[in-house]
Chain A
Amino acid sequence: MQSLVKMIIMVALLLFVSPLLEGVLRKFKALVHSRLGPPLLQPYWDILKLLGKDDVRSPHAFLGPLPAFLGLAAILAAGLLVPLGNSAPFASGDLFLFLYLIGFASVCVMLAGMDSGSPYGFLGTAREMMTSFVVEPVLFIALITVAIKTRNFRFSDMAAWQQISGTSLSTIISGLALFLGIQAQLSKLPFDIPEAEGELMGGTFAEMSGPTFALYRWGFIAKQVIFSMILAQLFFPWPLGLVGLWAVVAQIVKVVLIVVLVGLIDVVNPRLRIDQALIYYFGVILMAIVGLVFALVGA
């Protein structure tokens, strides 16, 4: 019963609080741009507006809105595994299940791009695929590093262990690698290559509109929170020794900081080309592997 309540709280948090974080991010970007920026609640209005629109779809599409629903569901399910404070709503919080769910969510985006039948969608999908191939290993290696460090595959146990024993060299290195990976996972600049409104008019989402598009956007906004939460709780567990509600509060503060940092990188960089991004991410994979090696030797 308790876990059910936790689950509901978690899903509600991901769906209804994460847009607020997006609003903070937008305000922050506006600050760097010397603009006023949209109201803090604008992401909510955007989603509401899109949900209320007609769903215009390419006549070639045969999957319809299916990938959008599956993708959002996968992201929310992955969110249930993530530790809130020191424990995950699903106490098991299995690392591999999480990785599969996140991978499945990106496959859904690719399916949507292919389904659109537009050349922009296809190019966007090709880019999304290439990005996934180099970014998901980063995620995988970084999480495995913590698992090796804590000798556990369950998120809640990993988080609790980190909370007690504090961070180490290996987790800091892999944490930084994961932070760089988040940038691409969330399609933030300089890695918003699959969407690239400049050359592909939204790429994978070029043909999307209305509620379907709202679901994808919502998914991205939720994903942003999920990744920040993982990063905050598993890799940077400061301040140490917090329990219960205090751990949650500290996590929220850290999540906001991480999102703002992601936003900062987003505003001070132009978009890279896909070949440049791939080379960059091979470097990040290397960095994650270094973290893994340190963990194996016990540092």
Chain B
Amino acid sequence: MTKQEILSLLKAKLGTGFIAHTEPIPDQLWVEVKPQASVQAVELLHRTTKARYLVSVGSDERELKKRFGVYHLFSFDKEHFFVTIDVSADPHKPVLPSITNVLAGANWSEREIRDLLGVQFEGHPDPRRLVLADDWPNEVYPLRRDFDYSSKPPSNPENAYPFKDNPPNTTVVAMGPYFPVFEEATYFRLYVEGEKVVDVDYRGFYAHRGIEKLGDASLTYNQIPFIAERICGICGFVHNVSFCKLVEHAAGIKVPRRADYIRTIMLELERIHSHALWLGVAGHIIGFDTVLMQTWRMREPIMWLCEKLTGNRKTYGMNLIGGVRRDITKAQVPEVRKKIDAMDKEWQAVLDAVKDDTTLRMRLEKVGILNREQSHEWAAVGPVARAADIDMDSRKDHPYCAYDAVDFKVITADTNDVWGRTVVRILETIESFKIVRQCLDALMELPEGDIITEIRDEIPAGRIAISAVEAPRGEDVHFLLTGGDNRPYRWRVRCPTYPNLPTVQVMVKGEQVADVPIILGSIDPCFSCTERMEVADVNTGKIRVYSQEELANWTTKRS
């Protein structure tokens, strides 16, 4: 479908609910609708045109336009553009109809907007707190612009998280908040009957860092790439590129070609080491430590290579708006090629070993099913969607950096299970080796040195941009509304785990307890990217040691 067709469809079906449309930048269609028409607009895009839902962004625009803005972002992958449904909420009584009933994937976005901005969604099926810590008072909305980023509201210990009730004849098995196979804090409450998982409840967002608030309130455009990189410890460079691309997009800055290739190389190196890491962790989860040890050994030379190229093993600090800070010189190219070739060879051996391992297949096949329809409904991204036979990859769909110039395949599988996700990741890594080699060839031809565009003018206010960058785990979406003071007005990060994590609740129902960790592992969860909101409560620094009696008493009281 073209933009015109979508526009006429929306106009025809929404009638008076349609207000206006603009095309702020070439790959975007911005449609303003009235609140009562928003549900229908979303339904049209999601069900009729099969557009892929990205995320909803809430923004406090009371100073600008006397309203709260809520943007529902959609992507037309094969047509290479984004459509945004823009809904306004009354600044004094912000209530909007909920779209979660027609689009399950919007569940978290709406709860988050409610928590942080105070926009209520009528008819939401699960109106519990999502992002804010349990002890935060009600009626405090930290992402509103009149909330100072350093303020600390009084604790309200009465607020407890209301978990779902036990279904009949079930017991609770807690996985988390701290659990051996989950690298970070997250809590899955399993309701089990024997070994079978009947129902599951989730509570996450334990580690709030307030990065978006810092971006809106304190940091400048050139500082944010470095904090954006710290959103995630593994796909940091992706966030970094996402943000730079966003500002470049909004302000129309042209990046030198050599910088594009360097960014592409770093992005692919990141994918290679991330997939190697994932395969190891997945092996560890199902007790196959040999895989863990071997893939991590193979990953190490790549990390050394990154250190040689950028000065850091991870968190490279390579990007600035307009380009990169370090060149990959022609003298360095042969070494990169050597390391890549060596890893390629070893990776083929891994592929052969994994492919023929019957025990491994017994554990991974037909486990954690998420089919094509469910994947679309929950807006899953990355290997999770690709294993459900959805051909989506933002490297192809919304080309950025040098991906328009390199040749690679989008790997898909149609098994819908954990095994499919494993295969997709392993084969994808082989494509990454190919991409790096092509970029190296290009670097040999381009002149050295021209790696950054100098920016003299101020970035104009009121511009809008969306960027989608394919992280190892899936698509990473950043949204930007530029503001004055050399900083964003609203910057929204939607990491790949954010849409993938709710799908785990779909996948584990009816499975066995033993499969839950690997199902969760199969989405390659990154809780640190997901839990990226809010100003953390700084603890008092007091240390106290509990005696055995106290601990015992405490356990008895709680249980």
Q: Give me the interface of A with B, judged by CB distance under 8 Å.
A: 32-35, 54, 56, 58-60, 117, 119-120, 122-123, 126, 189-190, 192-193, 196-201, 267-276
- Quick check: is B22 within 8 A (CB to CB) of the other chain? no
Residue among B171, B284, B514 making CB contact with A273, cutoff 8 Å: B514
CB distance from B286 to the nearest CB of A (A): 4
Identify the stretch in B135-143, B155-163, B288-296 within 8 Å (CB) of chain A at 4 or more residues: B288-296
B172–A196 contact, CB under 8 A?
no
B513 x A272 contact (CB < 8 A): no
Q: B174-182, B270-278, B402-410: which one contacts chain A?
A: B174-182
Alpha-carbon distance between A32 and B192 when the two chains are bound, in angstroms: 37
Interface 1/0 per residue, B510-523 and A, CB below 8 Å: 00111111100000
Query: A35-B293, A192-B287 given as contacts; is B513 within 8 A of A199 (CB)?
Result: yes
The one of B172, B181, B289, B362 in contact with A33, judged by C-beta atoms closer than 8 angstroms, is B289
Docked Cα-Cα span, A205 to B54, in Å, equals 44
**Is there an interface contact between B514 and A54, defined as CB atoms closer than 8 Å?**
no
Enumerate 15 A-B pairs (CB-CB under 8 Å) in ascending A order: A56-B548, A58-B555, A59-B552, A119-B174, A123-B195, A189-B288, A190-B359, A192-B287, A196-B287, A199-B175, A201-B180, A269-B288, A271-B288, A273-B515, A275-B512
CB B496 to nearest CB in A, in angstroms, measures 24
Task: Kindly count the residue-residue contacts between A and B in the assembled complex, taking CB atoms under 8 Å apart.
Answer: 91
Contact of B517 among A58, A117, A120, A199 (CB under 8 A): A199
B359 touches A270 (CB 8 A): yes
Question: Which secondary structure characterizes the binding site on chain B?
Answer: helix
Number of interface residues of B (CB under 8 A): 39
* Contact residues in A for B556 (Cβ distance below 8 Å): 59
Residues from chain A with Cβ under 8 Å of B286 in the complex? 198, 270-271
State in angstroms the CA–CA spacing of A197 and B548 once bound together.
25
Chain B residues closer than 8 Å to A271, beta-carbon distance: 286-288, 363, 514
Known contacts: A126-B194, A199-B514, A275-B512. The answer to whether A119 contacts B172 by CB under 8 A is yes
**A196 proximity list for chain B (CB < 8 A):** 287, 514
Measured CB to CB, the nearest residue on chain B to A55 is: B548
CA distance A274 to B285 in the complex (A): 16
Chain A residues with CB under 8 A of B181: 197-199
Task: Give CA–CA (A32, B286) in the complex, Å.
Answer: 18
Interface centre among B173, B180, B287 (most CB of A within 10 A): B287
> Do B514 and A119 touch (CB < 8 A)?
no
Bound CA span A123–B555, Å: 20
* Residue ID in chain A nearest B554 by CB atoms: A59
Q: Which 6 A-B pairs have the closest CB atoms?
A: A271-B287, A33-B293, A270-B288, A270-B286, A273-B514, A59-B556
A190: chain B residues at CB < 8 Å are 287, 359
The chain B residue with its CB closest to the CB of A200 is B513
Look across to chain B and name the residue whose beta carbon is closest to the beta carbon of A58.
B555
Q: DSSP majority for the A interface?
A: loop
Judge if B283 is at the interface, Cβ distance under 8 Å.
Answer: yes
Q: Whole-angstrom distance from the CB of A119 to the nearest CB of chain B?
A: 5
Given contacts A123-B195, A197-B287, A276-B363, 15 further A-B contacts (CB under 8 A): A33-B294, A119-B171, A119-B172, A119-B173, A119-B174, A120-B173, A126-B195, A189-B287, A198-B286, A270-B286, A270-B288, A271-B288, A271-B363, A272-B362, A274-B512
Verify if B360 is at the interface (C-beta below 8 Å from A): yes
Taking the complex as formed, is B297 at the interface, i.e. its CB lies under 8 A from any CB of chain A? yes
Interface residues of B in 350-391 (CB under 8 A from A): 359-360, 362-363
Which residues of chain B are near A123, meaning CB under 8 Å?
173, 192, 195, 513
CB closest chain-B residue, reference A273: B514
CA distance A268 to B354 in the complex (A): 11
Knowing A35-B293, A198-B180, A201-B180, the reply to whether A193 touches B514 (Cβ < 8 A) is: yes
A residues in contact with B288, CB < 8 Å: 189, 269-271
* Shortest CB distance A177–B (Å): 19
A268 CA / B283 CA spacing, docked (Å): 11
Contacts of A269 in B (CB 8 A): 288, 359
Q: Identify which of residues 269-322 in chain B touch chain A, using a CB-to-CB cut-off of 8 Å.
A: 283-290, 293-294, 297
Q: A198 is contacted by which of B171, B172, B287, B293 (Cβ under 8 Å)?
A: B287
**Contact (Cβ within 8 A) B179 A34:** no
Q: Is the pair A197, B172 in contact by a Cβ cutoff of 8 Å?
A: no
B136 → chain A closest CB, angstroms: 30
* B359 A198 Cβ-Cβ under 8 A: no
Closest to B175 in A: A199
**B362: nearest chain-A partner, CB-CB:** A276
Residues in chain A near residue B518, CB distance under 8 A = 198
Interfacial chain B residues near A117, Cβ < 8 Å: 559
| Cα–Cα distance between A126 and B194 once the two chains are bound (Å) | 8
* Complex CA distance for A269 and B362, rounded to whole angstroms: 11
Known: A35-B293, A269-B288, A270-B287. A59 touches B555 (CB 8 A): yes
Contacting residues, chain B, for A189 (C-beta < 8 A)? 287-288
Chain B's nearest CB lies how many Å from the CB of A96?
Answer: 33
Chain B residue nearest in CB terms to A190: B359
Give residues of chain B (507-542) contacting chain A, Cβ–Cβ below 8 Å.
Answer: 512-518
With a cutoff of 8 Å between Cβ atoms, the chain A residues found around residue B362 in the complex are 272-273, 276
Whole-angstrom distance from the CB of A52 to the nearest CB of chain B?
Answer: 16
CA of A61 to CA of B174, assembled, Å: 20
Looking at the complex, which one of B192, B283, B514, B516 makes contact with A274 (CB distance below 8 Å)?
A: B514
- By a CB distance below 8 angstroms, the chain A residues around B551 are 56
- Give, as a whole number of angstroms, the nearest-CB distance from A184 to chain B: 14
- A126 cross-chain contacts in B, Cβ below 8 A: 194-195
Are A34's CB and B514's CB within 8 A? no
Residues from chain A with a CB closer than 8 A to the CB of B359 are: 190, 269-270, 272
Q: Are B360 and A270 in contact (CB under 8 A)?
A: yes
Residues of chain B within 8 A (CB-CB) of A120 are: 173
Distance A50 CA – B518 CA, assembled complex (angstroms): 31
Tell me which of A199, A201, A275 has the highest count of chain B C-beta atoms within 10 A of its own C-beta: A199
How close is B507's CB to chain A, nearest CB, in angstroms? Answer: 15
Give residues of chain B (323-365) contacting chain A, Cβ–Cβ below 8 Å. 359-360, 362-363
Contacts of B515 in A (CB 8 A): 273
Q: Nearest chain B CB to A261's CB is how many angstroms away?
A: 16
Contact between B363 and A272, CB atoms less than 8 A apart:
yes
In the bound assembly, the distance between CA atoms of A126 and B513 in angstroms comes to: 13
Residue of B nearest to A197 (CB): B180
Q: How many Å lie between the Cα of A198 and that of B181 in the bound state? A: 6
The answer to whether A34 touches B294 (Cβ under 8 A) is: yes
| Chain A nearest CB, measured from B294 CB (Å) | 6
Minimal beta-carbon separation of B162 from chain A (angstroms): 21
Question: In the complex, what's the smallest C-beta–C-beta distance from A125 to chain B, in angstroms?
Answer: 12
Name the distance in Å between A221's Cβ and chain B's nearest Cβ: 19
Taking a contact as CB atoms under 8 Å apart, the answer to whether B290 and A33 are in contact is: yes
In whole angstroms, how far apart are the Cα atoms of A276 and B290 in the complex?
21
**Distance A269 CA – B175 CA, assembled complex (angstroms):** 24
